[in-house]
């Protein structure tokens, strides 16, 4: 079972492959999971924003979760399943399924359509954790949930849910600040995105639910190794290029309304090891094949290290 000591590093937060007519493409998806496992990525996560949990029906959730768990376990890698929903009932149902399917951990955000009251926070996480039968538990902290937790609220959840081991801390949440990361890391592992590793690595960050790790596994796994070694000079050298890359993505594709999954699919296919579909669930826009060439061209000029051996040809 995963522990606070082993639930670390850059886990691959995978998008779901869809067929042309919008059905789950299990063959392509399993291939993406397999390549991530074979690349040495420490664990696979799906059911987050990149995995489009908000656009997946419950029967699809079961199919995707089963494929993730089975493929990961066949390669001796752990699988974490996102169980977020708009209600306690929905999250509980997903957590039960994840446990029954043999998931190694679950992750859940607060229900996000109506803002959750302060008094309902601990009972919500407690009920979902109970449904997960003691599986290692991660909170997906995001401003999209309309409520972010204080350190005191994280502590209250940890006291009520001993299996709470990790917080996926995004911009605007307490774990994504230096002081907050220091305090939260005393309770649970704090996962943040690669652009924050330089700043928050020294404050106790222990990994991330990553897209960049399947854009270029070797590069990001080496970067994480430098974080673990506290080699901040090496981390800093790559950090500037990572910042520039994300700025380019935002300026080039942000005006077209790209969501998390559109960015991650594009870069995963254009630069990395994914064979997934560029399309995501509507009504949200997605990249085109022309965008692949735009992205590769920018990297050739500004961030050649991000190109894998195959994409650099």
* CA distances in angstroms from 76 to 23, 81, 104, 198, listed in the order given: 28, 16, 11, 30
The reply to whether 97 falls in a domain is yes
Q: Does residue 33 fall inside a structural domain?
A: yes
Asked if residue 74 is part of any domain, the answer here is yes
Going by pLDDT thresholds of 50, 70 and 90, the confidence category of residue 185 is: very high
Give a yes or no: residue 208 inside a domain: yes
Q: What is the CATH number of the domain that holds 64?
A: 3.20.20.70
Q: How far apart are CA 291 and CA 18, in angstroms?
A: 19
Indicate whether 296 belongs to any domain: no
Least confident of 67-81, 156-170, 295-309: 295-309
Is residue 277 situated within a structural domain? Answer: no
Confidence of residue 16 (pLDDT cuts 50, 70, 90): very high
pTM of structure: 0.96
Q: What's the token pair of residue 185?
A: 């890391």
Instruction: Round to whole Å and give the CA distance between 18 and 101.
Output: 22
Question: Among 41-45, 136-140, 270-274, 305-309, which stretch is predicted with the lowest mean pLDDT?
Answer: 305-309
Indicate the number of domains in the chain: 1
pLDDT of 313 over the 90 cut: no
308 pLDDT band, cuts 50/70/90, is: confident
Q: How far apart are alpha carbons 97 and 44 in whole angstroms?
A: 17
- Beta strands 164-169; 44-46: pairing state: unpaired
H/E run at residue 251? helix 232-253
Q: Tens digits of per-residue pLDDT, 273-299? A: 999 999 999 999 999 999 999 999 999
Torsion over CA: 45, 98, 48, 33 (sign)? positive
Does some domain include residue 308?
A: no
300 falls within a domain = no
Q: Which domain holds residue 216?
A: 9-229
């Amino acid at each position: 079972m995963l522990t606070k000591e082993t639930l670390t590093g850059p886990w691959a937060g995978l998008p779901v492959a869809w067929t042309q007519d919008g059905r789950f493409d299990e063959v392509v998806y399993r291939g993406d999971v397999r390549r991530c496992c074979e690349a040495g990525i420490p664990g696979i996560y799906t059911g987050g924003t990149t995995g489009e949990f908000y656009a997946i029906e419950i029967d699809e959730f079961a199919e995707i979760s089963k494929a993730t768990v089975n493929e990961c376990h066949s390669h001796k890698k752990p699988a974490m399943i996102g169980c977020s929903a708009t209600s306690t009932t929905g999250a509980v149902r997903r957590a039960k399924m994840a446990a029954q399917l043999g998931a190694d951990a679950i992750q859940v955000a607060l229900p996000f359509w109506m803002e959750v009251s302060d008094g309902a926070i601990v009972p919500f996480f407690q009920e979902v954790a109970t449904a997960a039968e003691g599986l290692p538990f991660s909170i997906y902290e995001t401003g999209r949930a309309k409520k972010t937790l204080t350190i005191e609220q994280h502590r209250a959840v940890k006291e009520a849910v001993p299996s709470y081991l990790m917080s996926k801390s995004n911009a605007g949440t307490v774990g994504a600040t230096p002081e907050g990361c220091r305090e939260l890391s005393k309770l649970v592992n704090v996962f943040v995105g690669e652009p924050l590793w330089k700043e928050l690595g020294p404050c106790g960050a222990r990994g991330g639910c990553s897209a960049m790790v399947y854009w270029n596994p070797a590069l990001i796994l080496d970067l994480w190794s430098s974080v673990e070694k506290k080699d901040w000079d090496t981390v800093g050298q790559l950090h500037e290029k990572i910042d520039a890359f994300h700025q380019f993505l935002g300026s080039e594709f942000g005006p077209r309304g790209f969501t998390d999954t559109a960015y991650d699919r594009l870069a995963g296919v254009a630069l990395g090891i994914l064979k997934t579909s560029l399309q995501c669930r509507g009504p949200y826009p997605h990249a085109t094949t022309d965008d692949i060439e735009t992205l590769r061209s920018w990297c050739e000029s500004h961030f050649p290290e991000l190109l894998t051996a195959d994409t650099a040809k």
